[in-house]
Structure 1
Amino acid sequence: MRRLVLMRHAKTEANHVEGDKARRLNPRGVQDAQEAGVALRGLGVDYALVSSAVRTRETFAHLGLDVPVEFQDALYYGGTETMLQRIAEMGDDVECLLVVGHAPTVPSLVAELAYASNRAEADQAQCWFPTAAYTVFSFDGSWESLGEGDLDHVHLDAVTRPDKHH
């Protein structure tokens, strides 16, 4: 059984003089990421894909996970198809993958994956997926099968929003 964790970066400053990609976490974002990290360590994450933006890199750092990580521009610039393709490229040795990205891509992909097993939660993800929220999915099979659109076997296990980390 594989696990996929899709996470939106933690709370950030409103803007940055160097542009959107340079925005940093604010104190609440740091705290939310640290709290999420406690729960994520219990899931057995063994690999991470993280957008190359400063706020996603900082979110990952404050999670405190000691796992291999790839920082990818495609997760900053691309949409759901790009994110799903990057996930599908994972090797069979990865059992639990964490992806840290942005809205609207993360909530949209959560909704797409959740639709078959939990339509109410799929709708909720599209409407309200705050910073530092993450969703856990489980499935049998390969990562590649997700990229091929085989989503019927994907099950939504948990949705965690910052107010639920405690």
Structure 2
Amino acid sequence: MTKLNTQTSVLAQTNDAEDYDDDEALEELEPGQGVVRGAGGYTAAGADSKTKRVVREQRNPGSRGVGTNQSPLEITYPAGSNVETIGFQSHDEARALVAYADVDGDGTDDTYTEGAELGWNANGYLEVISGGSPTEAVATIADEDGVTMSSGDDPTHVLVEFY
């Protein structure tokens, strides 16, 4: 089992050998974003994608200009650069990007708690399944006290467990 600092790393815990791969980023990609292999490299996962492959922070982030007190999770991979990814299996945990979804439909902040089901949205971020899109669950929020988000928030890194 591999454990890394969950505050500064996408990879949190894997039960088997890590499924690492790298290739060209066909568009700008963020650590924690879901990806699929396209022709010649990786693109963001689409709505209801079955993928469990996630962009990870570069293993040598200093070469990409990570500053003092800056997390490698904050550094994106530009299109055309070499992107590092990791694939997860059932029960593996990862810190992945979760986007806002108005689950109760009232237009106010929503709090997502442990056990909430997540699926990929059209931008390659996990989103709480709320009866609209996405509809296919690939993960659940794991071991979080509660993540409160509003419509103006950027996707947030949340610890998830894959199905």
User: What TM-score, normalized by structure 1, do the two folds share?
Assistant: 0.29
**Which has the larger helix fraction?**
1
**Which has the larger strand fraction?**
2
- Between 1 and 2, higher relative CO (CA 8 Å, sep ≥ 6) is seen in 1
User: What TM-score, normalized by structure 2, do the two folds share?
Assistant: 0.29
